[in-house]
Amino acid sequence: MYTYQRLFDFSKKIFLSIGCPEADAQTATETLLSADLRGVDSHGVARLIGYVRLWEAGRINATPNIKIIHETPSTATVDGDGGLGLVVAPKAMQIALEKARNVGSGWVSVKNSNHYGIAGYHAMKALEHDMIGMSMTNASPLVAPTFSLERLLGTNPIAVAIPAGEQPPFVSDLATTTAANGKLEMLQRKNLEAPQGWIQSSDGSASTNPHELKDGGALLPLGGDTGSHKGYALGAVVDIFSAVLSGANYGPWVPPFVSFLAPPADPVGEGIGHFFGAMRVDAFRPATDFKQHMDNWITRFRSSKAKEGKEVLIPGDPERLFTEQRLKDGIPLLPPVVKDLEGLGEKFGVEL
């Protein structure tokens, strides 16, 4: 178990060591560790070594010139200049919030970025402003569309954060696959099998081997055997909004997160793409009225009659409880993750 502050101080020093300016190192660390706090261990400090390896491979720019390259009063396209997605995404979301503050809504598509952590962190930035936030990103092609043997899409998450009044906010953060790739990585570290319906082998047959992707297998879209066309469609929407709209790479051309795999030799765009949205609640109705009714919505759903031994949760409930617990008791790390972090510490002279 490690305290949040201990992991924060360590991670920030690593980002500084690869050349990030102070403010960017702070932002990157806050973004990264939000995943560990919310119980999304696959996207938190366990990925720190992956960002460092991409920087070592020359695929991450530690000092990017992040800029708007096209805009209207309510929209913008942002060039991330190859920067850490952990830095590029928060800046792009801030642009969306500023546009929403001025004209009611803001929509920002991003190109030339990298992996941006958990989608929910960025969407939640809207909550403190009485806004609804949206966040999505495309990712390395590990997912086979319905009936396909080829990996053409990423796990392509969608997050939506909606403010409430007395109740905690509604925060939906989900991959458009049956499970995110990070879940497979965690199963690999624990030497466990994957549940049925998560992955297929290279010939399209079902598999429970969490290493299947290394042998040409693929993750499956959300929906399983009878409904994967729905997850496929949602993942495609994310890919188009994030990349076709911005000028980033899309589909099978999205560069891999792992440094030992080279990006495609025939890119159709620049880097990874993201998409962000922010909407002022009072652009539709008074925020106080809306939040009162959100409280009523949440209370009614939470109190619904449930199956024996179960309870009906509101999206965001498990992550909120994880955050409360981990700020109090610490963040658990698996031995392989600790080993990776200790290796980074030795390389840069930073104590874990």
pLDDT classification of 181: cutoffs 50, 70, 90: confident
Instruction: Give pLDDT tens digits for 73-103.
Output: 999 999 999 999 999 999 999 999 999 999 9
Q: How far apart are the C-alpha atoms of 175 and 140, rounded to whole Å?
A: 13
Instruction: Give pLDDT tens digits for 275-303.
Output: 999 999 999 999 999 999 999 999 999 99
Structure tokens given for 308? 């024996």
DSSP string, 10-31: HHHHHHHHTT--HHHHHHHHHH
Three-state DSSP state, 218: strand
Average pLDDT on 36-44 reads 95
Indicate the helix (H) or strand (E) that contains 295: helix 287-302
Instruction: Give pLDDT tens digits for 157-168.
Output: 999 999 999 999
Phi-psi region of 113 (alpha: psi -120 to 50; beta: other; left: phi over 0): beta
Tokens 């590029």 correspond to: 88
**pLDDT at residue 187, rounded to an integer:** 87
Q: How far apart are the C-alpha atoms of 125 and 102, rounded to whole Å?
A: 17
pLDDT at 196 over 90: no
Q: How far apart are the C-alpha atoms of 108 and 102, rounded to whole Å?
A: 14
Average pLDDT on 226-249 reads 97
Three-state DSSP state, 107: strand
**pLDDT at residue 299, rounded to an integer:** 98
| Average pLDDT of the chain, as a whole number | 96
Q: How far apart are the C-alpha atoms of 352 and 347, rounded to whole Å?
A: 12
**pLDDT at residue 260, rounded to an integer:** 85
Structure tokens given for 120? 């929910």
In this structure, how many other beta carbons lie within 10 angstroms of the beta carbon of residue 311? 10
Q: How far apart are the C-alpha atoms of 78 and 86, rounded to whole Å?
A: 14
Average pLDDT on 29-34 reads 98
pLDDT at 147 over 90: yes
pLDDT classification of 19: cutoffs 50, 70, 90: very high
pLDDT at 44 over 90: yes
Structure tokens given for 7? 């992991």
State the virtual CA torsion across 319, 134, 234, 185 in degrees, nearest 10. -40
Instruction: Give pLDDT tens digits for 242-268.
Output: 999 999 999 999 999 888 889 999 999
**pLDDT at residue 224, rounded to an integer:** 80
Q: Are 195 and 209 in contact (CB under 8 A)?
A: no
pLDDT at 351 over 80: yes
**pLDDT at residue 124, rounded to an integer:** 98
Of the candidates 278, 314, 280, which has an alpha carbon nearest to the alpha carbon of residue 170? Answer: 314
